[in-house]
Amino acid sequence: MIGILALQGGVEEHRHSMSRCGAATRPVRRCEDLENICGMILPGGESTTITKLIISSGIGPSVRSLIDAGMPVWGTCAGSILLSRGGIWESADVEMQRNAYGPQRESRIRSGTIKGRLEKIPMVFIRAPRVVNISGDVEVLARADGDMVALRQRNVLLTTFHPELTSETYFADIFMGMVYSRTSQAASKG
Ligand code: GLN
Q: What is the residue-level pLDDT of the chain in tens, covering all 190 positions?
A: 999 999 999 999 999 999 998 999 999 999 999 999 999 999 999 999 999 999 999 999 999 999 999 999 999 999 999 999 999 999 999 999 999 887 766 688 999 999 989 899 999 999 999 999 999 999 999 999 999 999 999 999 999 999 999 999 999 999 999 999 998 888 887 6
Report pLDDT for 125: 95
pTM as predicted: 0.96
Indicate if 13 belongs to the active site: no
**Rounded to whole angstroms, how far apart are CA atoms 185 and 190?**
9
Report pLDDT for 102: 78
Indicate if 162 belongs to the active site: yes
Cα–Cα–Cα angle for 172, 176, 180, rounded to 5 degrees: 170
Report pLDDT for 105: 62
Q: How far apart are the first and last CA of the chain?
A: 19
Q: Which atom of ligand 1 is nearest to the CA of 77?
A: 8
CATH 3.40.50.880 fits 2-189, yes or no: yes
What is the Å distance from ligand 1's center to 184 Cα? Answer: 34
What is the Å distance from ligand 1's center to 80 Cα? Answer: 9
* Ligand 1: residue whose CA is nearest its atom 1: 127
**Rounded to whole angstroms, how far apart are CA atoms 67 and 179?**
12
Q: Taking CB atoms and a 6 Å cutoff, what residues make up the pocket around ligand 1?
A: 44-47, 77-78, 81, 98-99, 126-127
Q: Which of 105, 73, 86, 94 is nearest to 47 (CA)?
A: 86
Q: Which atom of ligand 1 is nearest to the CA of 78?
A: 8
Domain ranges for the chain? 2-189
**Rounded to whole angstroms, how far apart are CA atoms 29 and 146?**
36
Report pLDDT for 190: 66
